[in-house]
Amino acid sequence: MLEDKNTHRTHLSELGEFGLIDHLTKDFPIVNPSTLKGVGDDGAIIDFGDQKAVISSDLLIEGVHFNLSYVPLKHLGYKSIMVNLSDIYAMNAIATQVVVSIAVSNRFPVEALEELYEGIRLACDIYKVDLVGGDTTSSTRGLIISVTAIGMAPQEKIVYRNGAKENDLIVVSGDLGSAYMGLQVLERENEVFKVNPNMQPDLESYQYLIERQLKPEARKDIVLLLDKLGVQPTAMMDISDGLSSELLHICKQSHVGCRLVEEKIPLDPTLINACEEFTLSSTMVALSGGEDYELLFTIAPSDYDKIKGNPNLSVIGYITEPAQGCNLITRANEAIPLKARGWNAFR
């Protein structure tokens, strides 16, 4: 049927994930005055009077976003909540509720889903969010998890992607690239296991990396810290696709350029060791790895003293006028254009 109707067929890969959603939603008008922000940021913003609601939604598909041969279901449940809470925190809001829908094939026993919900419950417990709804249904193949998170913030606290100004400092929380290297380690061990199921992997030296991949934490603490420090970011995003991809989003939506300083990118020593072992560039991994769920934001230069020396935060560059473009300043002090090589759902 599809074949007959469409004389011209455009392959999905021609648009890519962001191109596709932009393309499909470009003609949708906004008619409700309560819609303060629609498609195009980490979350939508809805006006409920006193408080504004932030809504974010993600769909996780077995075989695309996770592989159950090395991801325990409890961790998967935990992570599926983190991925969404991270989007709420990236708007500088506090997550309050989640709605979780799952579709499963009959190969899953109830006990497997109990494990999944144990992880969901742990995440709700630690992050103080309420599970308020959801739908369970069957799938023809595999496990599908859909999570919608709801958060709240007063309007003046909400941070979009488009507020970065020339001379603002670029700041990132935690360290980058470890979640990606954790995945590389897990995939390698999975291949080894397939060849020799009796082999006991020694993963101790990779523990930090694997934990970053399997059990990431959304940075609610950073939202609370910024509030405590009296810092209102000018733009913010969470790092799900990779530092370069997210920074390019902020620059594009804020109509500015940037200079990202390679030597300032925070890397864990375990990551540096693993990159050497896998003969990968740690800078490339940090720029393009994704799934770190750290917060990337920009602040006015006058706020620098408030964050200076905080072990959770690293200043990694600054915003420039748009004409200068978006560049990485290498250790050799060369400027090379930043490219979005982040994880692309349709590659």
Residues flagged as binding site for ATP:
117, 134-135, 161, 240
CB nearer a copy of itself, residue 38 or residue 322: 38
The CB density around residue 309, as the number of other CB atoms within 10 Å, is 6
Q: Which of 80, 86, 96, 327 binds a copy of itself (CB under 8 A)?
A: 96
Query: Least distance from C-beta 75 to a copy of itself, angstroms?
Result: 12
Q: How many residues bind a copy of itself (CB under 8 A)?
A: 94
Q: Which of 85, 144, 235, 338 binds a copy of itself (CB under 8 A)?
A: 144
Q: Which of 4, 85, 90, 103 binds a copy of itself (CB under 8 A)?
A: 103
Q: In what order do the strands lie in the sheet with 335-337?
A: 235-238, 295-299, 169-173, 313-320, 257-261, 326-329, 335-337
Query: Least distance from C-beta 218 to a copy of itself, angstroms?
Result: 16
Contacts to a copy of itself from residues 4-23, by CB under 8 A: 5-6, 8-15, 17, 20-21, 23
| Binding-site entries for Mg(2+) | 42, 56-58, 87, 135, 238, 241
CA dist 190 and 265 (Å) reads 30
Within 13 A of 144's CA, how many CA atoms are on the CB side? 13
* CB of 224 closer than 8 Å to CB of 239: no
CA dist 120 and 152 (Å) reads 20
Query: Least distance from C-beta 197 to a copy of itself, angstroms?
Result: 12
| Binding-site entries | 42, 56-58, 65, 87, 117, 134-135, 161, 238, 240-241, 291, 343
* CB of 234 closer than 8 Å to CB of 165: yes
- Percentage helix, strand, coil, to 5, in the chain? 40, 25, 40
Query: Least distance from C-beta 236 to a copy of itself, angstroms?
Result: 17
Q: Which of 76, 93, 99, 171 binds a copy of itself (CB under 8 A)?
A: 99
* CB of 117 closer than 8 Å to CB of 81: no
Contacts to a copy of itself from residues 188-247, by CB under 8 A: none
Q: Is 106 in the site for a copy of itself (CB under 8 A)?
A: yes
**Binding track, positions 150-189, relative to a copy of itself; x by CB under 8 A:** x-x-------------------------------------
CB nearer a copy of itself, residue 103 or residue 260: 103
Q: Which stretch binds a copy of itself (CB under 8 A): 68-76, 177-185, 272-280, 327-335?
A: 68-76
How, if at all, do strands 257-261 and 313-320 pair? antiparallel
Crossing angle (nearest 10°) for helices 178-195 and 269-277: 40
Q: Which stretch binds a copy of itself (CB under 8 A): 29-37, 217-225, 274-282, 299-307?
A: 29-37
CB-neighbour burial class of residue 118 (10 A; exposed 0-12, middle 13-18, buried 19+): middle
Q: Nearest Cα to 106, choosing from 137, 75, 127, 134?
A: 137
Question: Distance of CA 124 to CAs 36, 85, 99, 129, Å?
Answer: 27, 10, 11, 5
Longest distance between any two alpha carbons in the chain, whole Å: 63
Query: Least distance from C-beta 185 to a copy of itself, angstroms?
Result: 17
Contacts to a copy of itself from residues 108-137, by CB under 8 A: 108-115, 117, 121, 124-125, 128-137
Place of tokens 């629609």: 38
Contacts to a copy of itself from residues 255-314, by CB under 8 A: none
The CB density around residue 265, as the number of other CB atoms within 10 Å, is 20
Query: Least distance from C-beta 299 to a copy of itself, angstroms?
Result: 26
Q: Which stretch binds a copy of itself (CB under 8 A): 101-109, 195-203, 207-215, 323-331?
A: 101-109
Q: Which of 81, 104, 159, 171 binds a copy of itself (CB under 8 A)?
A: 104
